[in-house]
Structure formats: structure tokens, C-alpha cells
């Protein structure tokens, strides 16, 4: 009898978790749909949009650039370590450019921006929530979704592909620099191998991933900040949740998009 009671308690707990997860997913989906709809209906707050575009794109450039540059160099070193054993080190240029454009450029740039921008969005909007500034916007007949969410969603979706394009270039440059200076490759041969390996579709898919990642980062930052409660502690929890959720969703959608575009 005691075992049966514990079993039903665990079943009830599992049911609550499932229902809670479904409710959270539904609330997030509705929040995202409302944010997208508000992009296309006036008024649109261009000042907030441009400010967010600079904050997400221009101010995130140093950390994304450094990450991409050294990641390309690391890929070249690690590839050479394994391929030299099988005398196929000539394929390093192809590996570097494909790895950077298809995967590491979008993913690493997304994770860096999620840590920097997603946290900032959640903290800013969360602070406005706990200090009743969002309620004040409503009393001034200003739609908070239009003023706070829609410009950030659009700015992040547009900014991340540009960051990823720069990350792709610097990642390939990092691999090129290490291969020429440290591994003794011919610069002409390396460039020729890179050009032969890369295809426009590889770059395009990486940029599509970047746009999706940018939307997810802004969505998580705005959503968790908008729903934060409980003063400074609630804002801190919302900031952490935004970064963790954005990072997980980036990796999940990276797999899904890769499966869609590259699965045979």
C-alpha cells in the first residue's frame, strides 16, 4: 500500500512537470507571435531599434571577432595533429572553412551574443518590470510589446548574420595564419583549397542559422525579463534563465537546421 501511494505521488509530480512545461512553451510561443506581429504594425520605434542594432551588432563585434579568429586557428592545429598521421593534411583548408561557415561561426557567435546581449536585455526589461516602468508605459498608452520587444527582436535577427559573416572571414583567416606561419603551408595552395571547398550554399545556411539564433536570443532575453518578479533577486534569476535558455535553444535549433539542410 505504501509503495502504491509513493508511485501515485511520483506520477502526480511528473504530470505537474509536464503540464508546467506545456504552459511555459505555450506562453513563450504566444509571446513570440505577439512580438513578431508588432514588428509589422505601426508605430515602430526606430530609435529603440537603431540603439539595439548598435548594441547587438557593433558592440558585440570585438568578442565575436576574437572568438572566431582563435577558433579557426585551433581547428587548423587540431586537424593537422590528426591528419598528418594519414598524410592528408592538405584537407585542412577545406575542414577549416566548412567548419567555420557551417557550424562554428553561427554557434560561437550566437553563444557569445547570448551571454552578452541576452543577459543585458533580460536585466534591462526585468528592472523595468520590477520598478513598475512597464505599467507606466501602459498608462501612457504605449504598447510595451511594441516599445520593448519588437525592436529588439528585429535588431537581433538582422544583426547576428552580419556578425557571423565577419566571424566566418576571421575564422578562415585564423586557420590560414596558423597554417602558413606555424604548419608551413603554401599560401597560394591554402587559398586555392579554401576557394575550391567553399560553396555559396554553405555561407547562406550559416547566415540563415544566424538569423534564427538572433531571434531566439532576443526572444529569451525579452521573455524572461518581461516575466520577472520579486525585485533584484527576480531580475538576477531572469537574467540567468535567459542566457541558459538561449544557449540551449541555440544548440537544439543548430541540430534541427543542420538536419534539415544537410541530411541526405
CA distance 72 to 64: 12
The stretch 201-208 carries a mean pLDDT of 87
Length of the chain: 264
Q: Which of 228, 250, 252 is nearest to 239 (CA)?
A: 228
Query: Which positions ≥6 away from 31 have C-beta within 8 Å?
Result: 149, 219, 222, 223, 226
When pLDDT is cut at 50, 70 and 90, the band that residue 32 belongs to is: confident
Mean pLDDT throughout 18-22?
79
90-136 per-position pLDDT tens digit: 678 788 888 888 888 889 889 999 888 888 888 888 888 888 788 88
Domain that holds residue 60: 2-262
What tens digit of pLDDT does each residue of 35-45 get? Answer: 888 888 888 88
- DSSP one-letter string for 35-58: HHHHHSSS---HHHHHHHHIIIII
What is the number of domains present in the chain? 1
pLDDT tens per residue across span 221-239: 899 888 888 777 888 888 8
Helix (H) or strand (E) segment spanning residue 21: helix 2-39
Amino acid at each position: 500500500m505504501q509503495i502504491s501511494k509513493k508511485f501515485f505521488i511520483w506520477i502526480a509530480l511528473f504530470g505537474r512537470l509536464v503540464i508546467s512545461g506545456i504552459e511555459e512553451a505555450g506562453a513563450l510561443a504566444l509571446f513570440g507571435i505577439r512580438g513578431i506581429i508588432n514588428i509589422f504594425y505601426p508605430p515602430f520605434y526606430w530609435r529603440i531599434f537603431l540603439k539595439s542594432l548598435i548594441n547587438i551588432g557593433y558592440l558585440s563585434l570585438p568578442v565575436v571577432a576574437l572568438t572566431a579568429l582563435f577558433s579557426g586557428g585551433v581547428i587548423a592545429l587540431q586537424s593537422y595533429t590528426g591528419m598528418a598521421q594519414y598524410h592528408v593534411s592538405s584537407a585542412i583548408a577545406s575542414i577549416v572553412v566548412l567548419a567555420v561557415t557551417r557550424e562554428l561561426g553561427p554557434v560561437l557567435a550566437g553563444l557569445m551574443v547570448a551571454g552578452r546581449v541576452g543577459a543585458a536585455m533580460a536585466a534591462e526589461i526585468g528592472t523595468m518590470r520590477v520598478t513598475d516602468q512597464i505599467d507606466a508605459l501602459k498608462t501612457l498608452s504605449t504598447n510595451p510589446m511594441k516599445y520593448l520587444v519588437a525592436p529588439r527582436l528585429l535588431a537581433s535577427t538582422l544583426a547576428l548574420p552580419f556578425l557571423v559573416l565577419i566571424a566566418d572571414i576571421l575564422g578562415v583567416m585564423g586557420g590560414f595564419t596558423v597554417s602558413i606561419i606555424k604548419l608551413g603551408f603554401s599560401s597560394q595552395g591554402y587559398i586555392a583549397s579554401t576557394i575550391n571547398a567553399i560553396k555559396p550554399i554553405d555561407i547562406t545556411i550559416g547566415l540563415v542559422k544566424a538569423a534564427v539564433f538572433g531571434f531566439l536570443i532576443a526572444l529569451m532575453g525579452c521573455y524572461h525579463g518581461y516575466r520577472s518578479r520579486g525585485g533584484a533577486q527576480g531580475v538576477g534569476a531572469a537574467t540567468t534563465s535567459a542566457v541558459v535558455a538561449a544557449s540551449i535553444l541555440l544548440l537544439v535549433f543548430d541540430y534541427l537546421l543542420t538536419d534539415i539542410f544537410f541530411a541526405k
